[in-house]
Amino acid sequence: MSEIQRKDWISILSKTETIDLKNCIENINYTKDYKIIYGPNVGSIMIRARLGGNGDPYNLGEATLTKCVIKLEEGTTGYSYHLGRDKIRAEYAAVLDALMQDNNYYSKLQSMILDLKDKINKKENHIINESNSSKVDFFTLVRGDG
C-alpha cells in the first residue's frame, strides 16, 4: 500500500463528503475526547487567478471557507480548511488530519483514505468521460478530382 503524505490526505479529505469522513472515524472506533482549539468557523478566502491565464495574479472573488483546529487527547493537532460552510465536515476532517499523524491510527486509516482517493478519481473520470462523449468528430468532404 502506498504511503500517503500529509499534504495529500488533507487534499483528499477536502474533497470528501461528510458521511464518508464520519464513517472513517467510526470504523476505527475512535471514541476519545478531543479538544476544539478553533472553530469550526465560517470565514472567506479571496480566490486569485492570473491575468491572461498565465500572467500576474489578480483577485477574482471570494468564496466561503470553514476552518477548524482540534487537539487529540494524545496531543496531536489537526487542521482543516474547507471551501463552503459545512462545519461538521470541517470538524471531522480536522480530527482525521490529527489521527493520520499518529502512527497507530495511520495504519488503521491508510486503506480507507486510499479508498476515498479512488472514489474522487472515479468521480473525476466520470465527468471527463461524460464531457468526451460530446467531443466533435470532424469529417472533411473532398470535392473535385483532387
Partner 1 sequence: MYVAVKGGEKAIKSSLKLLEKKRKETGTKSIEINQIKEQLSFAVDRVINEGSLYDKDLSALAIKQSQGDLVEAIFLLRAYRTTLERYAYSTAIDTSKIIIKRRISASFKDIPGGQILGPTFDYSHRLLDFSLMKEDEINSYENINNQEPKNKEFPSVIDYLNNENLLEQEINNLNDNPFDVTRDPMKFPASRDQWMQILARGDEGFLLGLSYSAIRGFGSKGTHPFVGEIKYGIVDIFISPDELGFEICIGEIEISECQMIDQFEGNKNTPPQFTRGYGLTFGYNERKSMAISIVDRALKSEGYGEEIKFPIQDQEFVLYHADNVEAQGFVTHLKLPHYVDFQGELNLIRKLRNEILQGKKL
Nearest distance in Å: CB 8, partner 1: 9
Residues that bind partner 1 (CB under 8 A): 6-7, 10-11, 14-15, 41-65, 67, 79, 81-85, 121-132, 134-136, 138
CA 139/CA 33 separation, integer angstroms = 65
Nearest distance in Å: CB 36, partner 1: 15
CB nearer partner 1, residue 137 or residue 145:
137
Nearest distance in Å: CB 20, partner 1: 15
User: How many beta carbons lie within 10 A of that of residue 34, not counting itself?
Assistant: 19
CA 69/CA 56 separation, integer angstroms = 32
| Cell, residue 73 | 487527547
Nearest distance in Å: CB 94, partner 1: 12
CB nearer partner 1, residue 50 or residue 107:
50
Residues 6+ apart with CB under 8 A from 15: 120
Residue 95 sits at φ, ψ, to 5 deg, of -65, -45
CB nearer partner 1, residue 59 or residue 103:
59
CB nearer partner 1, residue 111 or residue 122:
122
Peptide bond into 40 cis (omega under 30): yes
| Cell, residue 11 | 487534499
